[in-house]
């Protein structure tokens, strides 16, 4: 029997490289998957403590960007209801970043690539 660990979130190599640079500049970081109108559905990256999560937020998981500590990823509970069958990968592309997200001045912007959870993931997350 295989002991497989499943995660709802991942990070691309390119996004992980940018996160290492941003962590060196800003200290430990976290993400909150935005569902608001201003930045659409951009994943917003903040220094820890600059965005406060609460009981209305769901921790999707941690991403490993090749730094000392994993980066936590959150989403509002109401938005999670729409996304709970989806795996999210944080990626980065050239462009203007979200106004409050730390990558804004870099000329790059984080974005989400998504796919439906596999049958094994659905079972692991209690959604089958």
Residue 1: pLDDT above 80?
no
pLDDT of residue 100: 83
pTM reported for the whole predicted model: 0.90
Residue 108: pLDDT above 90?
yes
Instruction: Find tokens 């609460």 and name the residue.
Output: 54
Give buried/exposed letters for 20-37 (b at 16+ CB in 10 A, else e).
eebbeeeeebbbbbbbee
Q: What is the pLDDT of residues 81-104, one digit of tens each?
A: 999 999 999 999 998 866 789 998
Q: What is the pLDDT of residues 38-79, one digit of tens each?
A: 555 789 999 999 999 999 999 999 999 999 999 999 999 989
pLDDT of residue 98: 60
Give whole-number Cα distances, 99 to 46, 57, 92, 114, in Å: 11, 21, 15, 22
**Which residues, 6+ apart, have CB-to-CB distance to 101 below 8 Å?**
39, 42, 43, 44, 45, 46, 109, 110
Residue 34: pLDDT above 80?
no
- What is the average pLDDT across 13-17? 98
The token duo for 61 is 């998981």
């Amino acid at each position: 029997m295989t002991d497989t660990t499943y995660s709802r979130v991942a990070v691309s190599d390119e996004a992980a490289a940018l996160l290492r640079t941003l962590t060196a500049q800003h200290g430990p970081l976290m993400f909150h998957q935005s569902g608001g109108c201003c930045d659409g559905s951009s994943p917003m990256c903040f220094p820890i403590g600059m965005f406060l999560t609460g009981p209305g937020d769901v921790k999707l998981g941690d991403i490993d960007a090749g730094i000392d500590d994993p980066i936590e990823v959150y989403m509002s509970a109401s938005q999670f209801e729409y996304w709970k069958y989806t795996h999210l990968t944080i990626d980065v592309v050239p462009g203007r970043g979200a106004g409050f997200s730390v990558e804004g001045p870099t000329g790059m912007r984080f974005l989400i690539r998504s796919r439906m959870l596999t049958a094994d993931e659905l079972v692991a997350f209690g959604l089958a």
